[in-house]
């Protein structure tokens, strides 16, 4: 009998070049960015993601801004992108949702 279960790639397979794909999805009244997909070093921490997105949106540190992984939680700024990717990637992409008011969590 043939096994019809789908196999998912190991997270390390997606991180071979030392980078991972991040998909940024705006929520509510937050403006979209283009392109929505970026590659980021696996050695970066989540604060680097926050800073990158603030720069893309031209937001200052004083502007209200909330970022979530997979529409679920806000990671610690010191958490590495590699660890977040290993635990929460979806088909090789780490989904980052952002908004101007708290939406989840």
- 49-101 confidence digits (pLDDT tens): 999 999 999 999 888 889 999 999 999 999 999 999 999 999 999 999 999 88
pLDDT of 105? 55
Asked whether 23 and 89 are in contact (CB, 8 A), the reply is no
pLDDT grade for 7, boundaries at 50, 70 and 90: very low
Residue 94 and residue 101: Cα distance in Å, rounded? 21
Residue 105 and residue 96: Cα distance in Å, rounded? 14
């Amino acid at each position: 009998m043939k096994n019809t279960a789908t196999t998912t790639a190991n997270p390390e397979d997606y991180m071979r070049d030392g980078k991972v794909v991040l998909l940024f999805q705006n929520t509510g009244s937050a403006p979209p960015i283009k392109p929505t997909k970026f590659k980021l070093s696996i050695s970066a921490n989540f604060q680097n993601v926050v800073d990158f997105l603030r720069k893309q949106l031209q937001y200052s540190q004083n502007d209200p801004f909330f970022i979530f992984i997979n529409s679920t939680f806000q990671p610690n700024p010191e958490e590495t992108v590699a660890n977040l990717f290993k635990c929460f990637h979806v088909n090789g992409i780490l989904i980052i949702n952002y908004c101007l008011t708290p939406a989840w969590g």
